[in-house]
Amino acid sequence: MNTRKVVIIGSGPAGYTAALYASRANLNPLVIEGHEPGGQLTTTTDVDNFPGFPEGIMGPELMANMKKQTLRFGTEYLQTHVTAVDLSKRPFKITCENGDEMMAESVIISTGASAKYLGLPNEKELIGKGVSACATCDGFFYRDQIVHIVGGGDTAMEEATFLTKFAKKVYVVHRRDSLRASKPMQERAFNNEKIEFVWNSAVSEIIADATGVTSIKVTNTETGEVTERPTNGLFMGIGHTPNTGFLNGQIDTDEHGFIITKGEHPDTNVPGVFACGDVQDSYYRQAISAAGSGCQAAIRAERFLEE
């Protein structure tokens, strides 16, 4: 069975940056791209907060450019999905959905975290057209507009507060009459005059035209009454699910499933296995921070192999 020095599981800014550094270090990395090559940015339109692009860049174009750069230095790609890994001994064994199996002296996990959505019929096709799961990424586009955000935890309160820097009004839609967020986060939101709460309510329909989202229908969870609310944007503040199921508990994670890394380094509890990007970052969740952690993971893998 083929044994690789480095196998990178997952793509996106973290995986592609890890591949760039590993290939330039002559480690001949193999990237297993997963079901969504390029990660969440492939569903994002304008990216204005990634350094080096003064006029901004489309998410898919940014990911395509990153991949091209890694190919220039010899990175290999496998377009399949990892279904299982055996991390009990080195070299590690990796099993893919297409039946391929390989061994790896070191593994970099960059499988990301998937934003949670409501499951409404048209919400995925409206991502980037009024539907978003990242206020930090997209809030700027809603200057002086009306937006709604779904959720009642710390994520929703943090994103709602951030959106008030741009939007003229932020409505928080929550299915109960009280929040799950921590007291400090609740107080910050309650004291912000731009934030208003829509209690005991759930978004049941997203209405859009050729320009994007125009309104949402909200159903009262107690009375069943349906109302239509004009809005320019709908944000999901219901959290993210890290893509770690294939690890089958072999790597230490926190209570939410995010991989625990050691201090400032990308090392996991298994020597030779490193994690980068959103799969280990529940706080920043930005393309640039993911890319930075991919750089760190590749450098650590290189030094691990040397040692």
Residues annotated as catalytic are 134, 137-138
Tokens found for residue 4:
């690789």
Give Cα 9 distance to the centre of its chain: 15
* Whole-number Å distance between alpha carbons of 167 and 281: 27
Residue with tokens 């990660």: 39
CB 218 within 8 A of CB 229: yes
SS3 sequence, the chain?
Answer: CCEEEEEEECCHHHHHHHHHHHHHCCCCCEEECCCCCCHHHHHCCEECCCCCCCCCEEHHHHHHHHHHHHHHCCCEEECCCEEEEECCCCCEEEEECCCCEEEEEEEEECCCEEECCCCCCCCHHHECCCEECCHHHHHHHHCCCEEEEECCCHHHHHHHHHHCCCCCEEEEECCCCCCCCCHHHHHHHHCCCCEEEECCEEEEEEEEECCEEEEEEEEECCCCCEEEEECCEEEECCCEEECCHHHCCCCCECCCCCECCCCCCCECCCCCEEECHHHCCCCCCCHHHHHHHHHHHHHHHHHHHHC
